[in-house]
A and B are shown apart, each in its own frame.
Chain A
Amino acid sequence: MNRLSELGERIAEIQDRVLCENDHLEEVRQRIPRDVTPGLSRRRRTVLAAAALAAGIAMVTFFLMSSPRPLTIAVGEASDFEIGAWIAAPAAESLPIRFSDGSTVYLDPLSGARITSITAYGARVLLERGSAKVEIIPREDAEWRLDVGPFSVRVTGTRFHVGWSPGQEIFSLKMMSGSVLVSGPMVPRGRVLSAGETFRAWVGENRMEIVSPGEVLRDPAPDASTNTERDEPPEPIVSSQNTRRAAPKPAGPTAPLWQSLAREGRYDQALDAVQRMGIGRVLARSTAADILLLGDAARLAGRVGPATHAYNTARRRFPRSDAASMAAFSLGRMAFDQQRDFAQASRWLEVYLDEKPGGSLEREAMGRLIEAHNRAGASAKASSVARRYLARYPNGPHARYAKNALAETRE
């Protein structure tokens, strides 16, 4: 890379820091008109613009006086507060973040968060570590969002408790009242959670559970809430599309056998059942969700061949679908974790990022891609991805790694 390019890269990095500090994205987002008439001719646009300008000049004072002001925030006892500033709860007690509409986020002890944006209708809160009790006042036009690890929680008026452990990659959300929409890994299309429900996700293991109040598990699946204390086979994989609890539904007389085995964590038995039927035949006839389930079961059983076959089938049979992109991510992950083939991992992670810009696993894919490039000896590519990662996720779990990657290429 010549010195002009190096200078340019440094200027870009400096600019990205400034853009992070002066984040206007949400403010601009609020101003983008919902209804835009497409295809206006330039002349008509000019005429309309001139008319609008004349009206706007006359209306500007009235508009400024009547525009809703952003909510104000008080953190603990302090009332002066800057957007983006780090908020850390002490060790012995929770820290309340109070908003002027009456909503409150109580950070649990030793938890950390940031308010990334605020409007008249709500705020966006990034819970970086730990947990928080959230109480949002219901309003018709309320717009709140919590970013918790790789998950996004959209809120209109509700109370819940949410937590994220970056080291263990465990997400949890317990609903007390109202409902929220959670989206992220394993729930890319979003999942509504209602009062009394508890959602947990073990992102690193690609599994999740949703438990409703008063539910009794009929099947002898391990209790997910104490799973980390036991030394047992992995929890069942939960298909995010049509099940709501960790244990499989009681199988009817026509329920396929291998899916139940896979959901119960009996991966080898599931694969044996598939092999008896003929894996090619099973893959040719299964839904996208079942194909991914088979791929995951094979991957978790350490059987790379069948896993690769399943994921590639998902991509071939359901091109340009969410399942195809998820398969690409899983192939990349498997190449990284199990095959230690970092060049291959890079290729698949890049495929995922190309196919799903802004996808729910983008942050994880980019972070892994930096590592994969580095381990494959492609430090220039690692730096390029690291720059993009830091611009998009300056506080993400791979931020430190990305900064180190950039620093090393400059030396």
Chain B
Amino acid sequence: MLGAVANRPRGKGLSADVAVVRPLKFVGDDEALVKALRAHHPGAGEVLYDRHANHVQRVLARVVGVDAELPELLHDVFVQALESIHSIRDGARLKAWLTSLAVFTARGCIRRRSRRSWLRFRAPENLPEQSIDTLDSDAREELRTTYRLLEQLPVDLRIAFALRFIAGMELTEVAEACRVSLSTVKRRLARAERLFLARARRHPVLADRLDPELSRRRR
């Protein structure tokens, strides 16, 4: 869908001070956007990014954590999306499809790190992270401890836990993002909760927050 430049009254050109007129962005819902991407509409790729980058970045951050590799993962998701846009069946589900791409990109990253962990010179908790200096000490410790514990979980349990409790997704959304059945997600979550809580009790910064839950589990 063209914008105001194309509809400008004839003879009303841009001032000579402006060297170039840029094509206006595509305007339309996700379904129309997918069609535009498939038709190589100029600017549709930018709209895809502008519209969904925040969400994709948050999904990646929930699963992987806010470390220095996040921008690369974000880049990978959108390149993948642009390359495989023809595979999406329902354009109206674009956001959910991107969520799934992000989850699997994050999964690949986690598995890669796990396979190479014996090559690392630093312990996992010392991987470079984005600057968190502006956070107060409690927040920093909560963030680091949570992801240290998540790293100890099997990757699929970690992903289900992060999507459910940190990203706040509904069970059906988690299942769709992980491309598994609802019953599989429930099983993974039950195991993940059990393992996470068992380890969290050893860390005061989390045990205090989870104490009533830990008490309930011990009964």
Contact = CB atoms under 8 A, between A and B. Distances in A.
Interface string B53-67: 110011001100110
Contact of A190 (B4, B143, B168): B4
Contact of B134 (A21, A34, A139, A358): A21
B117 to A, nearest CB: 22
B111 interface: no
Interface stretch (B17-25, B151-159, B179-187): B17-25
B137 interface: no
Contacts of B95: 357
Contact of A158 (B18, B71, B139): B18
**Of A187, A188, A191, A192, most B-chain CB atoms within 10 Å:** A192
A12 B168 CA distance: 9
Interface stretch (A2-10, A109-117, A221-229, A337-345): A2-10
Interface stretch (B100-108, B118-126, B209-217): B209-217
A156 B20 contact: yes
Contacts of A356: 29
B17 A22 contact: no
Contacts of B89: none
Contacts of B142: 7, 10-11, 14
A7 B209 contact: yes
A41 to B, nearest CB: 10
A15 B143 contact: yes
A391 B57 CA distance: 11
A316 to B, nearest CB: 17
A355 interface: yes
Given A12-B167, A14-B139, A39 B17 contact: no
A32 interface: yes
A190 B3 contact: yes
A43 interface: no
Contacts of B83: 36-40, 45
Given A194-B14, A322-B27, A8 B168 contact: yes
B131 A18 contact: yes
Contacts of A22: 66, 130-131
A4 B135 contact: no
Main secondary structure of the interface of B (DSSP, over half): helix
Contacts of A36: 45, 79, 82-83
B24 A21 contact: no
A190 B24 contact: yes
Contacts, number: 189
Contacts of A161: none
B74 A191 contact: no
**Of B8, B52, B143, most A-chain CB atoms within 10 Å:** B143
A234 interface: no
Interface in A326-385: 355-358, 384
Given A18-B132, A140-B20, A357-B30, A12 B15 contact: no
A178 interface: yes
B131 A181 contact: no
Interface string A186-211: 01111110110000000000000000
Given A24-B70, A32-B75, A320-B29, A38 B82 contact: yes
Given A4-B213, A36-B82, A179-B15, A191 B27 contact: no
B110 interface: no
A384 B170 CA distance: 13
Interface string A28-58: 1101111011111000010000000000000
B78 interface: yes
B90 interface: no
A11 to B, nearest CB: 5
A345 B175 CA distance: 31
Interface of B: 1, 3-5, 8, 12, 14-15, 17-22, 24-25, 27, 29-31, 38, 45-46, 49-54, 57-58, 61-62, 65-66, 70-71, 74-75, 78-79, 82-86, 95, 130-132, 134-135, 139, 142-143, 146, 164-168, 193, 196-197, 206, 209-213
